Structure 1
């Protein structure tokens, strides 16, 4: 039966209402799924690698740098952690301190501090470097007392003199002990000085070098995750 034309607007309104009712559950389901995905993402704890070009993965792809390799290890254990690579090439302890607050908008569960190498290569006074490292650590501790901090120890060649390089090496252990943070004795253990594991500049690790760096980090990080 053909409806008179005068009823057409009512039929159209009814169809529109029926369509809207059918769409609403689908929209609600989609919103619920999106909300759940967002909650899952925000529920993940973060591991923040705060460092210089070593952390950033200078000269290689970021996914080959050791923080990304640590993410792979974390994922393989089914742990809910997101690794954030906050490495910046050329970073000194002073510039790191100046940008710290930007990375502390949200609480990191674990904070790995990898800075000081550029200070040493530039011959910056050890007192200045130590002060900045301590201020970075205290800045994290004051804002997030429950955050676990790991300090990555560094060594430099004796270009600035044997005494400077030796005191530079000892500085990290002293800082870790007096601030009660974990210490990786030497981040580049087994990598530094090996031409097969470093780029032509002799400073930055290759992909294979970064795999070894990840192995150096993992024994100190893993117990903090479980």
Structure 2
């Protein structure tokens, strides 16, 4: 029975569009989350936040865990999709994909202690974000390499934690001039691919 898809991510989940000087956001019908909401029987909640990195401070982890407790109360099935890591690479020049993966594993382990995930009422899926492309924000070659390596690093985490995993790092999602944010076509392609992954 369809339920709720919680999409927890950064600006590519939020639907950031730098060309929009008002909201800075693509319309709902363009965003991959909005496409899933419209074209499937699932209720899709967009919990993307511009600039979000993997929660790793006391306050950000605490807030995320509180959100899990709230989401746990929703009726029917609740799937939590977590797609983060791009900003961790952008903001920390010395970080490798392995460093980002360690941060992600610590975060997921803490979240999985919450009742909703510990009881498996909520289903957790880790998504390795699409790799960055060359662009204004991506001037260092190592960014391209490490963003592609997130897939294999995250796959190891998912296996250790026994959770579902989707590797979007090789999907070749088209980006705008900055090399990071999806184009409108990119959102459509991402929605199609994730729908196949979830079989919805």
TM-score by length of 1: 0.65
Return the match for 1:112 from 54, 76, 81: 81
Q: Is the 8 A contact 2:147 2:169 kept in 1?
A: no
Cα distance, 1:166 vs structure 2: 6.0
2-structure distance, mates of 1:214, 1:124: 32
Q: Is the 8 A contact 1:97 1:132 kept in 2?
A: no
Are positions 1:101 and 2:65 aligned together?
A: yes
Match of 1:209 in 2: 186
Q: Determine helix, strand or coil for the equivalent of 2:55.
A: helix
Gaps (5+ residues) in structure 1?
Answer: 1-43, 76-80, 192-196
Higher percent of residues as helix: 1
2-structure distance, mates of 1:217, 1:124: 30
Q: Which moved more, 1:125-134 or 1:206-215?
A: 125-134
Cα distance, 1:57 vs structure 2: 0.4
Cα distance, 1:103 vs structure 2: 1.9
Return the match for 2:113 from 142, 152, 167: 142
2-structure distance, mates of 1:163, 1:200: 19
Q: Determine helix, strand or coil for the equivalent of 2:124.
A: strand
Q: Is the 8 A contact 1:137 1:149 kept in 2?
A: no
Pairs within 5 Å for 1:41-190: 45-59=3-17, 60-75=26-41, 81-94=42-55, 97=61, 99-104=63-68, 105-107=70-72, 109-122=78-91, 123=93, 125-126=95-96, 128-143=99-114, 144=116, 145=118, 146=120, 147-154=122-129, 155-156=131-132, 159-160=141-142, 164=146, 167-186=149-168, 189-190=171-172
Q: Is the 8 A contact 2:132 2:143 kept in 1?
A: no
Cα distance, 1:98 vs structure 2: 5.0
Determine which structure has greater relative contact order: mean sequence separation of CA pairs < 8 Å that are 6+ residues apart, divided by chain length: 2
2-structure distance, mates of 1:207, 1:188: 18
In terms of Rg, which structure is larger?
Answer: 1
Q: Determine helix, strand or coil for the equivalent of 2:113.
A: helix
TM-score by length of 2: 0.72
Gaps (5+ residues) in structure 2?
Answer: 18-25, 134-139
Distance 1:124-1:169 versus aligned 2 partners, 3 A rule: farther
Cα distance, 1:70 vs structure 2: 1.1
Q: Which moved more, 1:118-127 or 1:45-54?
A: 118-127
2-structure distance, mates of 1:188, 1:56: 21
Q: Is the 8 A contact 2:10 2:83 kept in 1?
A: yes
Q: Determine helix, strand or coil for the equivalent of 2:165.
A: strand
